[in-house]
Amino acid sequence: MAVIRDKYANIAALQVVQVSANVEQFGQILTGISLGEGRGMLIDSIEYRPAAGALQLVVGVADELLMIISNRDDITNFGDVSQRSIIDQVSISTNNFGTAVGMAQARLPIIHQFFPPRIIATPRIFCGVDSVSLASPATVYFRISFRYVKLSAQEYIELAEAFVLT
């Protein structure tokens, strides 16, 4: 890999609010990368922070809150790990172990750190929220720590084949 120009992490943040419960909603972050310029983005970590009200909606065994980071905004199955355009994903659900529980702790934000970092080379990334069987729309805050890196022509082509052209 060529010389890293960004030594320290930058922060991109976005709030995504579902327009209706159980409907996919995407927000867009412009990466500052133009296709073909030979620059990539190293993602060091992603933080997911569902609003407190969103967590309170996940109460039954059929309820699920799903969050993804992707390079596309037309994904219909957030849980499909075979989709190469999904960069990262989180699912929050409940489990019934036979006894009623009135309270559960949630440690927020949910932080995914990447060692080595994930690399992308797309002009935009999308933060997506979907839900299953929730009573109301959910709100989720996303925060991405990243650095820019110079890519060789071969590295750029490999990334384009893996993410942009899929």
Q: So where are the chain's domains?
A: 10-93+107-164
CA–CA separation, 69 and 52 (whole Å): 21
pLDDT in tens, 17-44: 999 988 999 999 999 888 778 888 999 9
Residue 142 — pLDDT band, cuts 50, 70, 90? very high
pLDDT in tens, 86-109: 999 999 887 766 665 555 667 789
Higher-pLDDT residue of 142 and 153 is 142
CA–CA separation, 109 and 149 (whole Å): 27
Overall average pLDDT of the 60-83 stretch:
88
Bond into 137 cis (ω within 30)? no
Residue 13: pLDDT above 70? yes
Sequence-ordered alpha helix ranges (H) in the chain: 52-57, 153-159
Indicate the average pLDDT of the chain. 85
Residue 112: pLDDT above 60? yes
Neighbours of 62 (CB within 10 A): 11
What is the per-residue pLDDT for 5? 60
Overall average pLDDT of the 4-9 stretch:
66
The pTM of this model reads 0.85
The residue behind tokens 């809150």 is: 65
Fold of 10-93+107-164: Jelly Rolls (2.60.120)
CA triple 96-50-112, angle to 5 deg: 90
CA–CA separation, 55 and 58 (whole Å): 6
